[in-house]
Structure 1
Amino acid sequence: MSNPVYGKQIKSSSKATPHSASTLLWSLSIGLILFLLWSAFQVALFNGQLLQFEAPIYWAVAITTLLFILWVGIYFKQMKLETQQDWLKVAVILLPLTYVLSLINAASEYLATNMILIQSLYAMIFVMMIYLLQNNKINFIIQSSLIGIAYVIVGFGLLNWLGAFNFAGKLIGWFSAGVINGVYNQAIWNDSNGARLASVFQYPNTYAAFLMAFLFISIFSMIRSKRLYTQLLHGFMLVPIILSLLLTLSRTGLVMLPIVFFILLLLLKPAKQILWFIYSGVSAIGTLLVLNPINTAGLELQKQFTGSLAAKSWLILIVASLVVAFLCLVNQRFVAPKLEGKLQSWSSRKASSLWIPLGSVALTVVVAALLLGTNVRNILPDSISTRLENINFQQHSVLERITFYKDAAKLFTDYPVIGAGGGAWTALYEKYQNNPYVSSQAHNFFMQYLVEVGLIGFLIFMAFIIYVFYQYIRSYVLRNEEERESHFVYFIVSMSILVLSLLDFNMSYVFIGMLVFIGLGGMAAAMEPQPTRHLKMGGVAARGVYSTVAGIAIIVLLIVSVRLLQANHYAIEGNELASSSQDFQQIKAPLDKDLSIRSTHPDSLMLLASLYQQGYTQTNDEQFYTAAVQLLQRGLEAEPFNKGMVRQLIGIYELKGENDQAYTLRKEYASNYIWDMNWYEQLISRSFDLGYQALRQGDTTKKNAYFTSGIAAYQHVVDGVEHLKTLPKGQLQGQPFQITPTMILNAGKMKYMSNDLPGATALLKTGIAEDLTDATNREIARWYLASLEREYKLDEALYNKLIAISSSEADEIKRIAKLNF
């Protein structure tokens, strides 16, 4: 007898799962659910750039590997490679392998290694989900758990918005790395736009992507559910989800929401489409009625918590949610059946599902026009109204994103085939950036993926996800409505997040990536199992191939993740000791242990090098100096774009008096940090100092080389400043980048000492300032007047102003003018 929900596909898989394995199967499912709940609060398992984010990633890989071992134990005897669905379990292995391949060109060995682990985690989750989600009961449990976790995250976010920081922190502080001093870090994100709700993600736009996916899942689940209490629950959560979405102040979320809504409508029958509109409209109206008081109360409660105001706000929210839930329930009980009956004949017509989505486009245009072009937006709080008002293609965040994408394209052209490794954008963006912005993410998942794994890896990834989506939609169209609904939640999750990832870095959060691959696995589980013509292996052969590959991967991943957890423990211990102890050997011991496991870990390597540097400073022992230099040189082989290491090595060289080596390093790395104003200011200063020293020693060749480099560096800054003037009006420059008085002074001196008097005069003139009490400004004026005197010219007003400060300035000007170079 075929399964009434999943059809022939599940019939075969149900028989394939022996009753004796049911306990293990349930253990695996519960383990996955608990793992997801834990993951959601581990600073969202961010991509591991910093020491405190490492442990959650390594724990995640270790736990997933153990769950995968349990999965192999349950399903080993049923492994076959006979259908397209089966071969997806092999194809997904190519995703981490493309990251392994990109290690050849890795801009950061540390970040690239972390990304290999993360991609392996995703692959294991995908494979487990294909098997697990073919089981009717397990599918229901995992879907319900995902929705439950989402509702917990929404509640957690609103607790923080309404001032209950400490209470929220206590709820999860016993297991979450994100709780610092009793409060979850950056659950409320503050920037130039004011307070923005971020919940567990610490970034409002990613939270908005998450909320959008589960808003649509809540509507879908309410319509699909037959039970009264589940309909009430999903209806109740609509207002909190939409409220949270608005409180993120995410323009990306608001812009992409109608696009995702339109895509989802295309896969629904007309009656369901109308119900989606009804429930979206009712919950949106309910949210707007409470938005102003809860927004205002939240802003006040974040400054000063008041129990009465918090209670009043919660009461308003709960009442509004209950009213909306009741209205949705009544509609679902009495209106929905009649609606489906009346539209049944229409639904059978060809292209019947297109008309309402097309109408939604027109409705979106009308609503957008009202909110963006009229006073209707004044019903919204000022913070949200202002964000809506600023939605346009000349708005700075849009222009900045376009710049990121252009810079990513430049990076890709240098690493086109296999990419620059995991974390490539983070390591390299300063080398390719168009202006001095600060962004360790490219704000586009697909562009970031492209620069990490190159064209080969990107094509493999795109082919993989397009194939999964295509086969799922193909199977969806061929099935009856009840069968369609069984895995539609997974489509909503993956599609919503990936669409929003076109404009942001949501997939850099490992928890979000896990949700996407759970979704992809769920869609793959719902595919029709079409036999492959040429690639076919029976149970024994498939088990041999897959167990070999999986076995090697499991052993490697488990060993690596456990060793990295040990290394992370040692690194954290070393950092803690460095802030509390003065004992060199005590601090050094855990750092040595970390570096014995991962020899070029940036944090531990730089900390240990700084200890050696201190030792050299205090004792002048050459062994300390040599050890520090060797450490940093080794580190730069693996992390050639790590600015901190370069600066530290330059500092050690200069401490020792190895100025030529320090200068060579500073000049060599200048092209990696083209908008670092301080870097170029120091390069210009060192060019003058060393050039002047060579001049005094009579080494004209070295003098010319230093001065040429210094003047070229100055010209780089001049050209950069001119380039920044060409930025679109709405685009922010980013970090300061300007010609400083120190740059002008040293560049002017170099031109003067190169006997380029017209050049020196013109350059120094740009630095003349009103305030001559400043020592640098005064020196610029001296050299400028001296250069004029050599050209038989005079700026009498400036001369008199300078002499008025001190009569000795006249002698100093004459002394400079008489210098013979």
Structure 2
Amino acid sequence: MSKPVYGKNAAQSRNVEKISSPVWALVVAFIMFLVWTPFQVGLFNGQQIDFEKPIYVSSLLSGLLLLVWMGLFYKKFKLEEQRDLLVVASLLLPITYALSLFVAVSHYMAMNILFVQSMYIAVFIIALYLLKQKQLNVVIQNAILAISYFIVGFGLLNWLGSWKLAGGLVGWFSDTVRGGKYLDAVMTDSNGLRLTSIFQYANTYAAFLMAFLFVAVFALVRSKKWYGTLTHGFMLVPIIISLLLTLSRGGLVMLPVVFILLLLSLKPAKQILWIIHLAIAGVASLAIAGPMTNLGTELNTAFTSAAALKGWAYLLGASAVVAVLGWAIQQYLSPWLQNKLGGWESRKLSSLWLPLLSVVLVAVVAFLLIGTSVRTVLPANMETRLENINFKQHSVLERITFYKDAVKVIKDYPILGAGGGGWTSLYEHYQNNPYTSRQVHNFFLQYLIEVGIVGFIVFMGFIGYIFYKYIRGYLKRDKNEFENGFFFYIIALSILLHSLLDFNLSYAFMGILIFIGLAGMGVAMDSKPLRRNWNTTGVRYGYLAALAIGTAFMLFLSISAISSSSSAVKAKELMGVSQSYEELKAPLVAALKDRPYHPEAAAYLASMDQQVYGQTQDQQYLNESFTVINRALKDEPYNKKLLQLLATSYELKGQSELSFAVYRDNADKFNWDIEWYDALISRSQALASAANAKKDEAKKQEYLTAGLDAYKHVTDGVEHLKTLPPEQLQGRPFSVTPTIALNAAKMQQIAGQNEEATATLKLGLGDHYADVVNSKTLWDTNWYSSLIARSYELAQQAFTQQDADGKVMYLNVGINAYNQVQADLLVQSLPVTPAIALNAGRIQLMAGQVQAASNTLKLGLSEDYKDAANREIARWYLAALKKANAAQDQPVYDKLIAADPAEAAQIDAIVNTQY
């Protein structure tokens, strides 16, 4: 068997065969798929109905394209050389994800990522064979460049206030455009405005821009046509400006690293040209960075044509200057350099000197921008971001924490991993502190978590082999600019390296770019002939048959998932406009028919059934809710919402012990969720108090132990958070809340730990309750009455001040206090006092518990309507009935109005108050 040919001979050999019309049709469809994907399939490692359908549609489209490829290439498909084996080896990647399904902690997310991986392999196989032909290779390279330049322009349109135009350009095919505006193309965080373009995440956009900055320089230097030189030179400033506007520190840190690695692959003349082009574009970009930042901030607040025109003038003017200079450099300097350095380039290690010098130059520039006042030439927000680049910066410390926690997951799921989405499901169990991050911020660690050591070895072996064989081939042969694959090498290397710091490959389009890059490298790699027994008819057609069967199976699953997702989306949309149970239920049932594990659809249906049961007390709704939840939990055991609904189901069934067990048995899954521990401690206290009243010592001790252990977990956690570096953000709130303090202190009081109980109250209730906590008569009826009254006063103040969180906190304290005193009075066979009934009822009404409020207020009523206090209770009681749309208590109303006719207006005033 003859060796593959490279360079000009290879080009001549490949161009002998004419490209057929069906193949051109496949190329066009492939490019259209590349255009569609970035505007449809965003961040896929999540659990939101709104974002799942594009995954399934893209899987379907890529599968159909792969079937077309098989139909066109089945006769040409051979296993003659090493690159042909890549097509076979690539199937191992989705197979490892399929294997991880057997141990997946979330079947739903694991299936979603299996769809994505299948799409990647379809793209890889198709690209590998299309790129073998030079003409198609050139077309696809230019298509990728055009798409990337459009994405850059799209982002800048949004930055300079032309979001209507930007939205109109893609709104006809993108679901991400709402109200004519692409969602979060410009995002806002604590650093101010950040450009994200189509990615809705600034750091991933920075990775994309870094890759295509170097691709643009490469295309500029290789271009033989004046219009190509001008086009690529013109785009350098928009790309660099966009990169600066992302405010991505990771992008700025990785930029010089990738640049130096790429320089090592170039000859000295081209190294110099790269440096010159980037230096000119960099200076021009820095010159307009300040005005572009200020104008973008202004235009995203209030659009004015003058400001927009000024912004475009800066951008287009700088770009035009750089384009002209770039053309002049390529026209006059490039030939001179090639001539002068031709002899030097043949020397051994000649390509090392400029990269080494660049390392020194980068270090000097970094020192000037980070360690000196030179950075003041940048806009204030960029200056601040650069100033904060250090190993003690909070995002660095947080990433280190993510990586340490990821290693904990890997130790527990070492072989096959935890399945796709494993980190998203498990991180709350393993996290060191209460951060919120559904991504590891390191692609390789996340991949290892998902598929374990087996899958990781397969993946690293696959990409490592391609990189090794590509670099080996690149260094050995004539570097024809279109056939040497360097275009694709830049893309794959840049994005993969940046993915050491972020979750870029959780964006499907970035993953597609990686696999196209790998395919392009595979085409150009050093490829030796295989033994003849690889290329037998049985092996070739056996592989194609297996590929066809696998593709058909994934197509079937995609169609089923699309149907299910469409039903789920329909149900979600109906929830905003319909109150009909049957109308809402029908699409949810359809969504769950083929995917009963769908967490969001299951949660919607179960929650709706529980609400209907609360209104009708019809047991069938509660039973259906219970069935739906338990079925979903078989495949989604770490889903917090489903577990909370299961606990609610038990509560509605009157099985408080089982509700408590759900919180107790799953507490370690959510170690830093203070709301989970608040609910667990509350339930422990209620059951311990009930067992104490029944003198059931064993049960009392069981619940006290569980509740006080949970409380100790909280206090230990609070102490642990004090050990975090001062620069590291804690994450979500985690402290002894007032309700935790009240319930934990009650359990300590039951256990005879009175001093500890007092200390706990002081720790959690705070200054607003200081006089109540310091009372000498803790835990008696009067003390509870004072506590509940204070909670109502504080909730009213918070409501007046529009402090929603404060209002909820004080209402919860009051409700918990009422539950405790009510249980105590029941044991003593004593009635609820009017003062407690009034304030507790008002608290319940403010909290939206209108039925409970009317019941509580009724307990405080007497027959003395001359008494102002009793009239107040009656007034609130009747208002609660009216708010609940319940039948009016006519005798009470008549007596109240007879005592004071003005009460009618006051009742209406309460009813009309929107808490």
TM superposition shift of 1:32: 0.9
User: 2:479 matched to which residue of 1?
Assistant: 481
TM superposition shift of 1:8: 5.8
The answer as to whether partners of 1:760 and 1:784 remain within 8 angstroms in 2 is no
**Structure 2 residue identity aligned to 1:750:** M
TM superposition shift of 1:45: 5.7
TM superposition shift of 1:778: 2.3
1:716 aligns with 2:713: yes
User: 1:791 matched to which residue of 2?
Assistant: none
User: Partner of 1:189: helix, strand, or coil?
Assistant: strand
**Structure 2 residue identity aligned to 1:723:** H
**Structure 2 residue identity aligned to 1:695:** N
TM superposition shift of 1:388: 0.2
Instruction: After TM superposition, list the pairs within 5 Å mapping 1:299-378 onto structure 2.
Output: 299-378=297-376
Deviations 1:580-637 (A, max 9, x none): 2222222111111111121211121111112211221122111111110111011111
User: 2:489 matched to which residue of 1?
Assistant: 491
User: 2:882 matched to which residue of 1?
Assistant: none
Q: Give 2:72's match in structure 1, choosing from 54, 74, 78.
A: 74
**Structure 1 residue identity aligned to 2:153:** G
The answer as to whether partners of 1:24 and 1:70 remain within 8 angstroms in 2 is no
1:770 aligns with 2:770: no
User: Partner of 2:726: helix, strand, or coil?
Assistant: coil
In 1, distance between residues paired with 2:209 and 2:433? 33
Instruction: After TM superposition, list the pairs within 5 Å mapping 1:468-547 onto structure 2.
Output: 468-482=466-480, 486-533=484-531, 536-538=533-535, 540-547=537-544
User: Partner of 2:752: helix, strand, or coil?
Assistant: coil
Using the size of structure 2 for normalisation, the TM-score is 0.83
Deviations 1:347-391 (A, max 9, x none): 111111111001000000100010011111111000000000000
1:556 aligns with 2:539: no
Deviations 1:701-757 (A, max 9, x none): 000000011000000000000000000111000111001222222222212211234
In 2, distance between residues paired with 1:471 and 1:520? 11
**Structure 1 residue identity aligned to 2:593:** S
The answer as to whether partners of 1:663 and 1:683 remain within 8 angstroms in 2 is yes
User: 2:803 matched to which residue of 1?
Assistant: none
Q: Give 1:587's match in structure 2, choosing from 584, 589, 593.
A: 584
Q: Give 2:734's match in structure 1, choosing from 733, 737, 753.
A: 737
Deviations 1:550-570 (A, max 9, x none): 111121111111121111111
The answer as to whether partners of 2:234 and 2:322 remain within 8 angstroms in 1 is yes
TM superposition shift of 1:252: 0.2
User: 1:273 matched to which residue of 2?
Assistant: 271
User: Where in structure 2 are there 5+ consecutive unaligned residues?
Assistant: 781-820, 829-915
1:33 aligns with 2:31: yes
The answer as to whether partners of 2:3 and 2:529 remain within 8 angstroms in 1 is no
In 1, distance between residues paired with 2:4 and 2:311? 47
TM superposition shift of 1:543: 2.9
TM superposition shift of 1:412: 0.8
Task: Return closer, same or farther for 1:785/1:621 CA change in 2, 3 Å cut-off.
Answer: closer
Q: Give 2:609's match in structure 1, choosing from 589, 594, 612.
A: 612
Task: Return closer, same or farther for 1:2/1:415 CA change in 2, 3 Å cut-off.
Answer: closer
TM superposition shift of 1:10: 5.8
User: Partner of 1:291: helix, strand, or coil?
Assistant: helix
Q: Give 1:667's match in structure 2, choosing from 652, 664, 668.
A: 664
User: 1:800 matched to which residue of 2?
Assistant: none
In 2, distance between residues paired with 1:128 and 1:508? 22
Q: Give 1:403's match in structure 2, choosing from 401, 404, 415.
A: 401
User: 2:201 matched to which residue of 1?
Assistant: 203
Q: Give 1:442's match in structure 2, choosing from 428, 432, 440.
A: 440
User: Partner of 1:343: helix, strand, or coil?
Assistant: helix
User: Partner of 1:718: helix, strand, or coil?
Assistant: helix
More contact order relative to length (CA 8 Å, sep ≥ 6): 1
In 1, distance between residues paired with 2:583 and 2:763? 54
Please tell me whether Structure 1 or Structure 2 has the larger radius of gyration of its CA atoms: 2
**Structure 1 residue identity aligned to 2:194:** R
**Structure 2 residue identity aligned to 1:690:** L
The answer as to whether partners of 1:450 and 1:458 remain within 8 angstroms in 2 is yes
Deviations 1:243-299 (A, max 9, x none): 000000000000000000011000000010011100000000111111111111110
Q: Give 1:155's match in structure 2, choosing from 153, 167, 170.
A: 153
The answer as to whether partners of 1:231 and 1:329 remain within 8 angstroms in 2 is yes
In 1, distance between residues paired with 2:636 and 2:26? 39
In 2, distance between residues paired with 1:624 and 1:782? 49
User: 2:897 matched to which residue of 1?
Assistant: none
Q: Give 1:601's match in structure 2, choosing from 585, 598, 602.
A: 598
Q: Give 1:237's match in structure 2, choosing from 227, 231, 235.
A: 235
Task: Return closer, same or farther for 1:7/1:552 CA change in 2, 3 Å cut-off.
Answer: farther
The answer as to whether partners of 2:38 and 2:508 remain within 8 angstroms in 1 is no
In 1, distance between residues paired with 2:269 and 2:14? 33
TM superposition shift of 1:689: 0.8
TM superposition shift of 1:46: 3.4
User: 2:757 matched to which residue of 1?
Assistant: 760
Which region of structure 1 is more displaced relative to structure 2, 26-35 or 152-161? 26-35
User: Where in structure 1 are there 5+ consecutive unaligned residues?
Assistant: 787-811
User: 1:95 matched to which residue of 2?
Assistant: 93
In 1, distance between residues paired with 2:133 and 2:765? 78
In 2, distance between residues paired with 1:682 and 1:481? 66
Q: Give 2:723's match in structure 1, choosing from 704, 713, 726.
A: 726
1:223 aligns with 2:217: no
The answer as to whether partners of 1:48 and 1:57 remain within 8 angstroms in 2 is no
User: 1:695 matched to which residue of 2?
Assistant: 692
When the two chains are superposed, the root-mean-square deviation of aligned CA atoms in Å is 2.2
Using the size of structure 1 for normalisation, the TM-score is 0.93
In 1, distance between residues paired with 2:527 and 2:8? 11
User: Partner of 1:731: helix, strand, or coil?
Assistant: coil
Task: Return closer, same or farther for 1:780/1:579 CA change in 2, 3 Å cut-off.
Answer: farther
1:454 aligns with 2:448: no
In 2, distance between residues paired with 1:91 and 1:314? 48
The answer as to whether partners of 2:613 and 2:622 remain within 8 angstroms in 1 is yes
User: Partner of 1:200: helix, strand, or coil?
Assistant: coil
Deviations 1:40-75 (A, max 9, x none): 211536345311111211111111111111111111
User: Partner of 1:77: helix, strand, or coil?
Assistant: coil
Deviations 1:690-710 (A, max 9, x none): 100011011110000000110
The answer as to whether partners of 1:764 and 1:783 remain within 8 angstroms in 2 is no
**Structure 2 residue identity aligned to 1:501:** S
The answer as to whether partners of 1:418 and 1:453 remain within 8 angstroms in 2 is yes
In 2, distance between residues paired with 1:522 and 1:387? 36
User: Partner of 1:26: helix, strand, or coil?
Assistant: helix
The answer as to whether partners of 1:764 and 1:781 remain within 8 angstroms in 2 is no
Task: Return closer, same or farther for 1:783/1:679 CA change in 2, 3 Å cut-off.
Answer: farther
User: Partner of 2:194: helix, strand, or coil?
Assistant: strand
TM superposition shift of 1:479: 0.9
In 2, distance between residues paired with 1:158 and 1:592? 44
In 1, distance between residues paired with 2:53 and 2:476? 45
In 2, distance between residues paired with 1:212 and 1:728? 32
In 2, distance between residues paired with 1:298 and 1:46? 29
Task: Return closer, same or farther for 1:216/1:586 CA change in 2, 3 Å cut-off.
Answer: same
User: 1:165 matched to which residue of 2?
Assistant: 163
1:122 aligns with 2:120: yes
In 1, distance between residues paired with 2:543 and 2:750? 72
Identity of aligned residues (%): 49
Deviations 1:774-812 (A, max 9, x none): xxx7257557699xxxxxxxxxxxxxxxxxxxxxxxxx9
Which region of structure 1 is more displaced relative to structure 2, 745-754 or 447-456? 745-754
Deviations 1:305-346 (A, max 9, x none): 001110121112111111111011101100111111111111
